Structure 1
């Protein structure tokens, strides 16, 4: 669960109209974010990173996102990664964004709509979907970017194929804060400890 150390939001929130599917936004440091009236479970390592919008729910003003990582500017192709990243997840879960090289196992490369590439080699983590307040998200500090729809579909298919799936939240009485979709969010403490977001009513 996010633990807040400050009370003031230190960045302008992205406008609702920019929370479009595939939009690449910025999730700032936790200390720069305003507390919420409900718990939001997001691993510490997700903050101060780009994220990709999967869906926006205006009725609750929250956004489902995938996180983006540069692996601390290391080379994802290096043999010491083997089949595992240094984050402990199979590299099957990560899809590259230019200027990264194509995925070493599948050859897959995501494409962007507005710009040709990000400022450094980056990968989308398709394993988990996190739900955060829209007000937490800001624009990229080096301009805007958005995945093309074809690439966004690839990310979604990868998540549905290789991501961890759990039963519907509605069956656990959490529908007040969740919207049914083709993907699902976790509901148990064990899932939260595995790095999922869970927003409780």
Structure 2
């Protein structure tokens, strides 16, 4: 844990690293159950609070435990607010209809790809015939590459200098202005 963040967290909460890890994993479980909150912010906290490798370990543990608990709860009948959109999702349909080696490959692939919502994959697994043990192993192994990519991106963002931050903000600003300009021209052309 970086010294300044460590002191800040100790002063703020009075909690040791073990308690902070437990809290982080608990928050990750809640994020997994809710299914719509991105965990990237928690990954950023874990990397800042515990360092790169331990932070990734905490994130992997939290996401894995969260996926397993979510799988169990969805299988027992827990319903998400947006379940209708998940049930019609093309990834959901593909996973639900797969079996055997194809199911293992698809679950692993969908876990690696960071842009497919975890809740879709977990709900699809809960609605399929896979048992909890294979789901847990495949889901965890598939999450590791995705979390490594996420952690590398977050680590770079956490180490951004002021000059790079200004350059990024200007670049985004120019992109937004260009998008508004293009949208305006399209609207005038109608």
When the two structures are superposed, what TM-score results if normalisation uses the length of structure 1?
0.28
Query: If each structure's helix is expressed as a fraction of its own residues, which one has the higher value?
Result: 2
Q: Which has the larger radius of gyration?
A: 2
Query: If each structure's strand is expressed as a fraction of its own residues, which one has the higher value?
Result: 1
